[in-house]
């Protein structure tokens, strides 16, 4: 067994060649290699490279019932975290994208901007479609970010782009209803139910710099209302509490974008977010099962496995009243 193990593992000799050299059958060589492992003549270890956190990823995946988790280095500051998350998300999309995917992409996310900036073009067309799943109209100085996200993703995947030419937040519920009935808006809304890969940021109640600059924010009084109702975070400006339960207020009727129950039905809903200030928001998104793939940083991952160890998160399917 030791001789066979040295030939196979140290010298790289194929099993057929070992069998010929030692006048054994290849089946015998295979059986003896297996016995060598069982008797610890051979011990196989995996050396995880620096910057890979497979243990954390597996623990998060099991704890929260996720399809996949990718953990990146936290870095020295938030800008570095954003770059690391963007690069990881870009690689994930490049290596897992399937033919005919309908990609839903949120607007007003710096992390998603970092993702498309880090992506490489696909070598060939795979008939993808890309649709905005949150209204992308806002302050002209910031609106180019939302347009860039969708157009760039469509270009990189050699796909077709569908824009949602509305604000993310309208001035009133009546105004939102008018937009939703617009024949130029409905094609984008109709694709929400067909999305197979959703790429979303996870926000806190306090709006990000990019979202603030876009003008798609609630005022201070409205944000206070959300906090009083227990909101800790949002996806596509749909807010939820620390247990992931949707926070339903009249403000929800002013948002034009994918609803949480629609997101939950997407085969791959990928949340890309990091930085400890987003810990509660990310935990809430996981507890609500609004995403099934998480791309985050080491600091968040360690905090999640340290502070929250639910034995099992029950599957939750929430049916909310559809917007008029």
Number of domains making up the chain: 2
Residues forming a β-bridge with 162:
131
**pLDDT for position 314:** 43
Give per-10-residue mean pLDDT for the chain (324 aa): 90 93 92 91 69 88 95 88 95 95 95 94 93 93 85 95 95 96 94 97 94 93 97 98 96 97 97 96 97 97 79 46 44
Q: Are residues 32 and 60 in the same domain?
A: no
Burial 191-213 (b: 16+ CB within 10 A, else e): bbeebbbbbbbbbbbebbebbeb
**pLDDT for position 268:** 98
**pLDDT for position 104:** 98
Q: Are residues 154 and 32 in the same domain?
A: no
Domain that holds residue 25: 2-38
**pLDDT for position 142:** 79
In a domain, 298, yes or no: yes
Q: Are residues 8 and 111 in the same domain?
A: no
Please name the residues in contact with 40: beta carbons below 8 A apart, sequence gap of 6 or more.
Answer: none
In a domain, 316, yes or no: no
């Amino acid at each position: 067994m030791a001789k066979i193990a040295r030939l196979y593992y140290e010298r790289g000799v194929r099993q057929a060649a070992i069998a010929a050299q030692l006048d054994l059958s290849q089946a015998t060589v295979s059986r003896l290699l297996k016995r060598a492992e069982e008797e610890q003549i051979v011990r196989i270890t995996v050396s995880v490279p620096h910057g890979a956190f497979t243990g954390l990823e597996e623990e998060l995946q099991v704890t929260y019932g996720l399809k996949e988790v990718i953990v990146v280095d936290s870095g020295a500051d938030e800008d570095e975290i954003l770059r690391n998350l963007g690069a990881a998300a870009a690689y994930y999309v490049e290596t897992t994208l399937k033919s005919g995917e309908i990609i839903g992409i949120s607007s007003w996310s710096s992390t998603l901007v970092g993702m498309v900036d880090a992506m490489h073009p696909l070598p060939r067309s795979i008939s993808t479609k890309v649709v905005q799943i949150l209204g992308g109209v806002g302050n002209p100085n910031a609106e180019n970010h939302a347009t860039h996200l969708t157009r760039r993703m469509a270009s990189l995947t050699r796909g077709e782009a569908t824009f949602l030419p509305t604000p993310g937040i309208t001035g009133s519920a009546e105004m939102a209803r008018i937009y939703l009935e617009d024949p130029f808006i409905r094609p984008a809304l109709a694709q929400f139910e067909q999305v197979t890969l959703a790429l979303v940021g996870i926000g806190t109640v306090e709006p990000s710099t990019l979202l603030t600059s876009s003008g798609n924010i609630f005022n201070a009084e409205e944000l206070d209302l959300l906090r009083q109702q227990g909101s800790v975070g949002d996806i596509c400006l749909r807010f939820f509490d620390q247990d992931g339960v949707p926070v339903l207020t009249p403000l929800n009727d002013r948002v034009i974008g994918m609803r949480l129950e629609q997101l939950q039905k997407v085969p791959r809903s990928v949340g890309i977010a990091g930085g400890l200030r987003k810990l509660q928001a990310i935990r809430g998104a996981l507890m609500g099962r609004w995403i099934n793939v998480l791309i985050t940083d080491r600091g968040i991952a360690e905090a999640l496995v340290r502070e929250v160890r639910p034995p099992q998160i029950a599957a939750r399917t929430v049916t909310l009243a559809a917007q008029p």
